[in-house]
Structure 1
Amino acid sequence: MAACIFCTMRLITLVLVVFICVTTTAAFQITEVYSDTYLDGDADEYLVISGDGPLSSLEVTDGEGQITFPAGAVSSGSITIARDGEAFYKVNGRYPDYELIGMSPDVPEPVVTGKFQMANQKDELMLKEHGILIQNLSWPGTFKPRKGQVHVLGPDGIWDKRVFISGASRFMPVTFSNVTGTAFVSPDCGRAVFEQAVSSARREILVNVYEFTDPEMAGLLCQAFSRGVKVTVLLEGGPVGGISSEEQTVIAMLCSVGINVRVMAGTGEDHAPFRYDHAKYLVIDGKDLLLTTENFKEHSFQKAGFAGNRGWGVLVSSPDLCSYFSKVFYSDLNGPGVTDIQGNRSEIPEYFAEAYKPVFAPLHFNDSSVTPVLAPDTSDLIVSLINETRSRLYIEEAYIKHWSHGKRNPYLKSAIDAARRGVEVKILLDSYYYNIEEENDNDEIAAEITAIANREHIPIEARLLDLSGTGLLKLHAKGMIADDSILISSINWNENSPSFNREAGLIIEDPNVAGYFASVFEQDWNAYKKQPLSHESGPDIAKIGLAGMIVGMLAILYLWRHRR
């Protein structure tokens, strides 16, 4: 009997030990891996273990080396283990919790057995507790290796749901209430709002824009600087086609009066964390934010009465919202890959534009809720907004392209799914020559959407903007009306923009603002002239007519020759 009791107690003890081990293992996970870095020799590689509690029972191994921790080591939230603490500090601006090779006197070392160094293209990591395997990940496999990418485990257990390049920010979603502002569109009234906003500055202007070529807009910033306003400008250092002579002149103009102009264009070890700095916004005196879909160009912020691009914008007042964007600005300005630039003056050719009759005046609004959208940080908010739409979804985009490897654009997929649940979906795209002359661009996308609508009998329609009917030069907006909310952003609907660029936008919840932009959308939508969208959507009448004329002329020539 005593023996049975003893055996039972041993069994209970064993079960308790296993239970403790199993329940404890859930507390720790490897949540970040940075294995293929921009620094030579991958000196700044690191991994993060998240969890709370003693570390002495943990072991990390790559199959060739093992990392363990001394007695008394404790994690409170997470720990970062870097190869070289000084290299990690150079890239991240802070020291890790542990380093492997002892370069930083104030950073402790874990216990390392064997050779522990993560390979770039193919390797594995195993996390054990009390000798029991609790996590196993590999690349390729768990995630796809990419130079410069920090692989991140999301709260839903999915790795790399968003791409984070080393040095990039990780701002979280936040909504601001009681926001007042002014909505505007270009070319109708955007220039006047910009001029008023810059002229009102008394203390500071922060400018982040992809391209800046308008000397008169630059002149307004110079005037602000001359009256004592601190002006800081951040530009993209490698736009498509390079920095133009017009932009070089604007840069030189700004620098000549003392304005600090910087560009994001680093390479190699000083690699910028974003493929392009494509955002377009100003923060004025820490209380006003002007955010737009447009670059600072003549045809983007056209003078009143002249034709330009269709663009959307908003000037909002909220110290808290501006504080958020100021943090974004300085995070990018002081991040890797950003350098000073002086510019180079040259003669700017005179810009000519056709006459245009403005239709829309600015709309003033108040007491609105506003949520910033940043790429790549929070760009998934756009899909969430589409998925929550219940009645109308109007999309006005410069272009839509599918993802690589034949994967359908997730933004477009969500819009089609909205139509399948009964939402009225209208998609208006640009028809400027470079958006329709190649394969798989706007006319093919519109034809694809039309085919889906006809096949499934769902309420979705796509059109190309009739430039002649509207008097616009091209459609450059990146906007959306979703029920009583609107999205204004710099985010193009391609794979690169939301995943790799620095982009900025706002979701504004306000029926009046949504109604304003819905009116703009309907104005552009109704100017449409029906035309074939692709070779598959109908015959090309012009080509058929030309062919008929040629056949007719040949027939006349044949009869004339044979009559002789």
Structure 2
Amino acid sequence: MPGPYDFGLMAPGRILTYSEAGEVAAALKRSLRMIAERRSPAPARRRSLLTALLVGLAGAAALTASLARAEASAAASSGVLISAVYYDTYLPNEPDEAFRLTNLASTSADLAGWTVTDQQGTVTLAGSLAPGASLWITRAAVSFTLEFGFKPDYEYGGNSDPAVPDLALSGNLTLGNNGDALLLRDGANTRIDSVVWENGVITDTGWVGPTIAPYNQGFFGLEGQVLYRKLDQATGRPVTDTDQAGDWAQATDDDVNGKKVQYPGWDLDLYFQTYRITQTATITYLVAPDHIFAHVLQAINAAAQSIRYEGYDFKNAELGQALAARAAAGVSVTVLLEGAPVGGLEDQERWNCQQIEAAGGACWFMVNDSAATPPIHDRYAYQHAKFMLIDDRWLLTGSENLNYSSMPSDPKADGTAGNRGLWLWTDAAGPIAHARSVFEHDLDPQHHRDLRRWSAADPVFGAPPPGFTPGFASGGTAYAVRFPDPFVFTGEFQFEIVQSPDNSLRDRDALLGMIARAGPGDRVLVEQLYEHPFWGPTTSNAADDPNPRLEAYVAAARRGALVRLLLDSAYDVPGDVRSNAATCAYVNGLAAAEGLDLACLLGNPTGTGIHNKLVLVSAGGAGWAHTGSINGSENSSKQNRELAVQVRSMAVYTALADVFWWDWALSGGVVPVTGGPALYLPLILRSGP
């Protein structure tokens, strides 16, 4: 660094780099300070030197600003960004630290001579990066592959995997868990991009404002989070780079595109967009608890080649026997379940898996095992999706698990009891292919360690205790069956598959986009297990951490739509700040204060609670139905595996609205006469004054 009066860097014709210009400016400032302190020669000499220094300082400042603009221009024109950083990793000693580069330009980027540095260690890049492509660079390729399920493009900490090219490392590049910075520079040492996280120092990085940090509102683990850039909903490409925290998905400035998480093993790049297709198909909606058991059993018994089921838990012994019978008949039967459901894995589930395995099928669990070497972390907080593929010609999916509480097998003539819910059953080829893709990515033991197959000797994922006898009791008489037959529709339908954690929280499509269609005179009907009044920590509120789903319903009412929310009372804990009771108090308070056609009720119309995840929208003469597994919690949208199907059809809307209004009336609600189906008239009379 130049000392006082040392301007050798400013030789005639010498072009300074940005950092050198900064050094000259600093030297000029030091010299100026020494003159002011009268440590220079005689007064005349001091005045002359002071004048020269002032001119030089102004010139250096202008040069520094000019070079800063040049670096910013170079960064913008290069199109290469640091698009993800994995620093606080799961593995001991963190050999899987990694970062990703993405080329947003329309031409290839020659990376030869480029560097990535944390200003303690530097990796020198090689090769090129095609337009729109990304590459992962890690310390140890073998460790990275273990966690992410695929090989990185380069490694820099030694040749752990001969199949992965090595990059040169100088110094010690260790990504600090409490804070650090990464800088990307091109072959001319021009800064192209930077990211600074947690307590990292922003000096000389080009970063502006507060650093980025993992999103943690009490439910999301800090360890294992992958920092990644916000993605444009339309293109799937990173949003415009400003070298600020707001560029990143973990930023808390945006309730829809921010406050996100990502963990190793996710398929976000593949599934960031919802899957949409228009096809001619037959759609059948099965209503729980009314008739769903018989028709799911019918579908299983009709399988001739294969059955794939991905679910949360599985306690219905008769459906377990049916799957085992198909396996014994030569049908390929594969089941994937959550390994740690709330309350733990029950012997009834172990017994079902035992029957399937004994008959030649396969039963798998998605697991978390901190005692394993190295530790195993499951990809999702919960595997909560519920969908079944039969012979690759039928897709069945919805809100209900293969349990007796959802699918009671009792005779229905004298009534039954169970959860209110829905399954969709369709032969639409596009949704079937997409669901199979999700299944095959989730159940991929070749690439993911968080999968464990049932084994008799396994103390957790094995056989039930000797002599265990499964339970077959189900149903009851609390609910007089209202819908004895499925709703069946044939025609051309618009399908949209929405799934968590990949794409359920978008406002240009998916659920939020569907709700946004509702305006004056339209309707939004919601029947849900729960819808939290706010997200974030339990100490937060709807203003600081709004639930975007709930606020979308309120916004529809503010636009003039009729909006009704029917939430479960059977499982609700009224004293909880996130309870359905709290949600209804919040919603009904807004309705009263603002004069909105908006109401929220708690109910238990079918005996054991509402387990539905149903949203219906009628707008501009068209109808939409959203059915699936996604609940109204932040966790469900952001880190569970969930699946829902949205269908555009006024006939579907009308049929499922029948279910909603029936349950609404049984819960004490008044059904509107105007525009309501005629079948509600008796209910209106009964619920009137």
Work out which of the residue numbers 351, 354, 365 in structure 1 matches 2:473. Answer: 351
Q: CA deviation at 1:439?
A: 4.3
> In the alignment, which residue of structure 2 is the partner of 1:61?
117
User: For 1:101 and 1:190, how far apart are their aligned partners in 2?
Assistant: 56
Q: CA deviation at 1:83?
A: 0.7
1:396-435 matches, within 5 Å, as 396-401=527-532, 402-405=534-537, 406=540, 407-435=545-573
Work out which of the residue numbers 300, 304, 308 in structure 2 matches 1:198. Answer: 300
Q: % of aligned pairs identical? A: 28
> In the alignment, which residue of structure 1 is the partner of 2:345?
243
Work out which of the residue numbers 482, 491, 503 in structure 1 matches 2:617. Answer: 482
| Letter of the 1:128 counterpart | R
* 3-state SS, counterpart of residue 482 of structure 1: strand
Q: Note closer, same or farther for the CA distance 1:68–1:218 as it changes in structure 2 (3 Å cut).
A: same
* 3-state SS, counterpart of residue 474 of structure 1: strand
Q: CA deviation at 1:433?
A: 4.9
> In the alignment, which residue of structure 2 is the partner of 1:374?
499
Q: CA deviation at 1:219?
A: 1.3
Work out which of the residue numbers 663, 680, 683 in structure 2 matches 1:524. Answer: 663
| Letter of the 2:494 counterpart | S
User: For 1:320 and 1:464, how far apart are their aligned partners in 2?
Assistant: 37
* 3-state SS, counterpart of residue 666 of structure 2: coil
Q: Which moved more, 1:79-88 or 1:401-410?
A: 401-410
> In the alignment, which residue of structure 1 is the partner of 2:451?
338
User: For 1:504 and 1:257, how far apart are their aligned partners in 2?
Assistant: 29
Q: How many residues align?
A: 513
> In the alignment, which residue of structure 2 is the partner of 1:388?
517
Work out which of the residue numbers 471, 479, 493 in structure 1 matches 2:632. Answer: 493
* 3-state SS, counterpart of residue 309 of structure 1: strand
> In the alignment, which residue of structure 2 is the partner of 1:229?
331
> In the alignment, which residue of structure 2 is the partner of 1:27?
79
Contact 1:266–1:336 (8 Å) recurs in 2: no
> In the alignment, which residue of structure 2 is the partner of 1:180?
282
Q: Note closer, same or farther for the CA distance 1:287–1:131 as it changes in structure 2 (3 Å cut).
A: same
The structure with higher relative contact order (CA 8 Å, sep 6+) is: 1
> In the alignment, which residue of structure 1 is the partner of 2:594?
456
> In the alignment, which residue of structure 1 is the partner of 2:179?
122
Work out which of the residue numbers 140, 158, 165 in structure 1 matches 2:263. Answer: 165
Contact 2:84–2:99 (8 Å) recurs in 1: yes
Q: Note closer, same or farther for the CA distance 1:182–1:350 as it changes in structure 2 (3 Å cut).
A: closer
- 1:76-118 superposed Cα distances (whole Å, 9 cap, x missing partner): 1222111111222223343222111222223222232211121
> In the alignment, which residue of structure 2 is the partner of 1:502?
641
- Aligned: 1:135 with 2:193: yes
Q: CA deviation at 1:20?
A: 11
- 1:318-367 superposed Cα distances (whole Å, 9 cap, x missing partner): 23322211121121112331101233151234525322432222111132
Contact 2:275–2:434 (8 Å) recurs in 1: no
> In the alignment, which residue of structure 1 is the partner of 2:681?
none
Work out which of the residue numbers 446, 449, 464 in structure 1 matches 2:584. Answer: 446
| Letter of the 2:451 counterpart | V
Contact 2:71–2:192 (8 Å) recurs in 1: no
Q: CA deviation at 1:444?
A: 1.6
User: For 1:21 and 1:441, how far apart are their aligned partners in 2?
Assistant: 51
What 5-or-longer segments of structure 2 have no aligned partner?
1-12, 14-65, 199-210, 216-221, 233-238, 240-246, 250-257, 455-461, 671-689
* 3-state SS, counterpart of residue 93 of structure 2: helix
Runs of 4+ in 1 over 6 A off after TM superposition: none
- Aligned: 1:219 with 2:321: yes
User: For 1:262 and 1:134, how far apart are their aligned partners in 2?
Assistant: 46
User: For 1:333 and 1:396, how far apart are their aligned partners in 2?
Assistant: 31
Contact 1:251–1:344 (8 Å) recurs in 2: no
Q: CA deviation at 1:300?
A: 0.3
Q: CA deviation at 1:22?
A: 2.5
User: For 2:92 and 2:71, how far apart are their aligned partners in 1?
Assistant: 45
RMSD across aligned C-alpha pairs, in angstroms? 2.3
| Largest Rg, 1 or 2 | 2
* 3-state SS, counterpart of residue 86 of structure 1: helix
Q: Which moved more, 1:260-269 or 1:519-528?
A: 260-269
Contact 1:126–1:135 (8 Å) recurs in 2: yes
Q: CA deviation at 1:437?
A: 5.4
* 3-state SS, counterpart of residue 469 of structure 2: coil
> In the alignment, which residue of structure 2 is the partner of 1:10?
none
> In the alignment, which residue of structure 1 is the partner of 2:420?
310
Q: Note closer, same or farther for the CA distance 1:40–1:131 as it changes in structure 2 (3 Å cut).
A: same
Contact 2:78–2:109 (8 Å) recurs in 1: no
Q: Note closer, same or farther for the CA distance 1:352–1:213 as it changes in structure 2 (3 Å cut).
A: closer
* 3-state SS, counterpart of residue 297 of structure 1: coil
User: For 1:19 and 1:90, how far apart are their aligned partners in 2?
Assistant: 37
User: For 2:122 and 2:179, how far apart are their aligned partners in 1?
Assistant: 18
> In the alignment, which residue of structure 1 is the partner of 2:38?
none
> In the alignment, which residue of structure 2 is the partner of 1:542?
none
Work out which of the residue numbers 14, 38, 41 in structure 1 matches 2:90. Answer: 38
| Letter of the 1:351 counterpart | A
* 3-state SS, counterpart of residue 449 of structure 1: helix
Contact 2:628–2:643 (8 Å) recurs in 1: yes
User: For 1:297 and 1:96, how far apart are their aligned partners in 2?
Assistant: 41
> In the alignment, which residue of structure 1 is the partner of 2:406?
300
Contact 1:250–1:343 (8 Å) recurs in 2: no
Normalised TM-score (structure 1): 0.86
Q: CA deviation at 1:169?
A: 2.1
User: For 1:328 and 1:353, how far apart are their aligned partners in 2?
Assistant: 33
1 or 2, which has the higher helix percentage?
1
Contact 1:266–1:339 (8 Å) recurs in 2: no
| Letter of the 2:417 counterpart | A
Contact 1:35–1:46 (8 Å) recurs in 2: yes
| Letter of the 2:526 counterpart | I
Q: CA deviation at 1:212?
A: 0.5
Work out which of the residue numbers 410, 433, 436 in structure 2 matches 1:323. Answer: 433
Q: Note closer, same or farther for the CA distance 1:23–1:82 as it changes in structure 2 (3 Å cut).
A: closer
User: For 1:19 and 1:499, how far apart are their aligned partners in 2?
Assistant: 36
- 1:459-505 superposed Cα distances (whole Å, 9 cap, x missing partner): 2110111x3xx343210101100221111111110111111111111
User: For 1:80 and 1:19, how far apart are their aligned partners in 2?
Assistant: 24
Q: Note closer, same or farther for the CA distance 1:58–1:501 as it changes in structure 2 (3 Å cut).
A: same
Q: Note closer, same or farther for the CA distance 1:352–1:200 as it changes in structure 2 (3 Å cut).
A: closer
Normalised TM-score (structure 2): 0.71
| Letter of the 2:464 counterpart | N
User: For 1:19 and 1:339, how far apart are their aligned partners in 2?
Assistant: 50
> In the alignment, which residue of structure 2 is the partner of 1:154?
230
| Letter of the 2:590 counterpart | I
Q: Note closer, same or farther for the CA distance 1:439–1:159 as it changes in structure 2 (3 Å cut).
A: closer
Q: Note closer, same or farther for the CA distance 1:352–1:272 as it changes in structure 2 (3 Å cut).
A: closer
* 3-state SS, counterpart of residue 254 of structure 1: helix
* 3-state SS, counterpart of residue 240 of structure 1: coil
Contact 1:280–1:504 (8 Å) recurs in 2: yes
Q: CA deviation at 1:119?
A: 1.6
